[in-house]
């Protein structure tokens, strides 16, 4: 009675064969959740210490998300006319305290060059 299983072909999980490029060494062992290796993980604040990352992130979210819709649309339109993104235009207002005009060719060129670099 116990020899019934000897003549059966090996069972495949889900009926799908393993691709030949995946070896047994690539399959995580028992107790592994299959997640990414922790050694290669870089947190969103970078490799250094956290510092005041969360304060900066909260301030940045307040600066970009707490304005009236009409103001955001107007600034996005103005940025598109100047060839900038909304974020670049908003940062210029927040950092320099001035609104860019079409005559500010040199400053717009600096911002676009920084984007490519």
Domain that holds residue 77: 68-116
- Domain assignment present for 81: yes
pTM score? 0.54
pLDDT at residue 99 tops 90: yes
pLDDT at residue 82 tops 80: yes
Q: Tell me which of 24 and 92 has the higher pLDDT.
A: 92
- Domain assignment present for 110: yes
- Domain assignment present for 47: no
Number of domains forming the structure of the chain = 1
pLDDT at residue 1 tops 60: no
Average pLDDT of the chain to the nearest whole number: 82
- Domain assignment present for 28: no
72 vs 78: CA distance, rounded Å: 10
Confidence of residue 5 (pLDDT cuts 50, 70, 90): low
pLDDT at residue 47 tops 60: yes
């Amino acid at each position: 009675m116990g020899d019934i299983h000897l003549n059966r072909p090996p069972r495949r999980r889900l009926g799908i064969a393993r691709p030949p490029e995946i070896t047994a060494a690539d399959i995580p062992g028992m107790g592994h959740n299959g997640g990414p290796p922790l050694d290669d993980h870089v947190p969103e604040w970078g490799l250094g210490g956290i510092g005041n990352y969360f304060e900066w992130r909260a301030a940045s979210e307040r600066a970009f998300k707490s304005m009236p819709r009409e103001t955001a649309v107007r600034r996005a339109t103005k940025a598109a006319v100047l060839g900038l993104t909304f974020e670049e235009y908003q940062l210029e207002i927040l950092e320099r305290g001035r609104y860019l005009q079409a005559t500010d060719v040199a400053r717009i060129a600096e911002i676009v060059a920084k984007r490519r670099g």
